[in-house]
Chains A and B, each alone.
Chain A
Amino acid sequence: MRATVTVMLKNGVLDPQGEAIRHALGALGFEGVEGVRKGKVIELDVADGTTEAQIEEMCEKLLANTVIESYSIALG
């Protein structure tokens, strides 16, 4: 079973890498990109029957720093 965790900086937290990507896209001639946020995707191969609550605990304890990051979980 696959669990996919997406971790992003919370809205309002400055994302300098996202800004740099936005500038680089503009320099390449891509117009109209008003915002870029860079996060990370963590794929977990977990035992069948693993619950969302268990993945959530992993996120709270290690995978995300909830002071500055938010996360979302997709199972299956």
Chain B
Amino acid sequence: MKAAVIVFPGSNCDRDLAVAFEQAGFETKMVWHKDTDLPEGIDLVGVPGGFSYGDYLRCGAIAAQSPIAKALTKHAERGGFVYGVCNGFQILTEMRLLPGALLQNAGIKYICKPVGLRVETTDSAFTSDYSKGQEITVPVAHHEGNYNASPETLARLQGEDRVAFRYTDNPNGSLDDIAGILSENRRVLGMMPHPERMSEPSHGGTDGAALFSSIASGLVSA
């Protein structure tokens, strides 16, 4: 099982994500944003949190145009797994690999605290080790996490069971309490909260670990 984590100038959760991938059993390589190809045989690509390109223009907008973005799109089109956290989620929406957009938090302030999430579907490689309706606690740390989409897009996400996580107490004004969504083929997940920061006992909790073990167990049994 092989994973890659993309590193942009301004990424700051890249190493946390790599540790979480490795603990789940992935051999993990870091890939620089200027690279034009992903390493051979990659199953999973992580797009980490942080402030890629200083959040200039819009969060994730410049990263979405970086050289590695084309390779990432190809990987997703091939049916490869892609996991975007926080700024990674913003980048995936800017790349149009996921629908909608992340706006500034409704309360304007940057929010950094543990939040409650409800696992809304177990029908994905990222959530299969959770149980449907399970409530978990995972930290958020963002200023632009207010998920927004057109009524048609929202109806599709709901109708196709593509909302992976909802906030139990919406911290940022997100439409329909959405914290994370899946792509049409269910192999791309973007979410604002940070499971990689809650995946070993020293983090204060391990509620995030099942996300990484889910992907790994799916690949082992495949």
Known: A13-B103, A14-B146. 19 other contacts (CB 8 A): A14-B103, A14-B173, A16-B104, A16-B105, A16-B107, A16-B108, A16-B173, A17-B104, A17-B108, A20-B108, A62-B65, A65-B61, A65-B94, A67-B93, A67-B99, A67-B101, A67-B149, A68-B101, A68-B103
Q: Which chain A residue has the least Cβ–Cβ distance from B62?
A: A62
Residues of chain B within 8 A of A9, CB atoms compared: 103
Q: Which chain B residue has the least Cβ–Cβ distance from A38?
A: B104
The count of chain B contact residues (Cβ–Cβ below 8 Å) is 20
Contact B57 A62 (CB under 8 A): yes
A residues 13-30 near B (Cβ < 8 Å) are 13-14, 16-17, 20
Interface residues in chain B, defined as those with a beta carbon under 8 Å from any beta carbon in chain A: 57-58, 61, 65, 93-94, 99-101, 103-108, 146, 148-150, 173
Taken together as a complex, chains A and B put the C-alpha atoms of A63 and B65 apart, in Å, by 11
Taken together as a complex, chains A and B put the C-alpha atoms of A67 and B95 apart, in Å, by 12
What are 7 A-B residue pairs whose CB atoms fall within 8 Å in the complex?
A9-B103, A14-B146, A14-B173, A65-B58, A67-B101, A67-B148, A67-B150
Contact B101 A65 (CB under 8 A): yes
Taken together as a complex, chains A and B put the C-alpha atoms of A53 and B154 apart, in Å, by 31
Taken together as a complex, chains A and B put the C-alpha atoms of A68 and B101 apart, in Å, by 7
Interface residues in chain A, defined as those with a beta carbon under 8 Å from any beta carbon in chain B: 9, 13-14, 16-17, 20, 61-63, 65, 67-68
Tell me, rounded to whole Å, the shortest Cβ–Cβ distance linking A24 to chain B. 12
Contact B65 A16 (CB under 8 A): no
Residues of chain A within 8 A of B101, CB atoms compared: 65, 67-68
Q: Which chain B residue has the least Cβ–Cβ distance from A61?
A: B65
Taken together as a complex, chains A and B put the C-alpha atoms of A4 and B194 apart, in Å, by 38
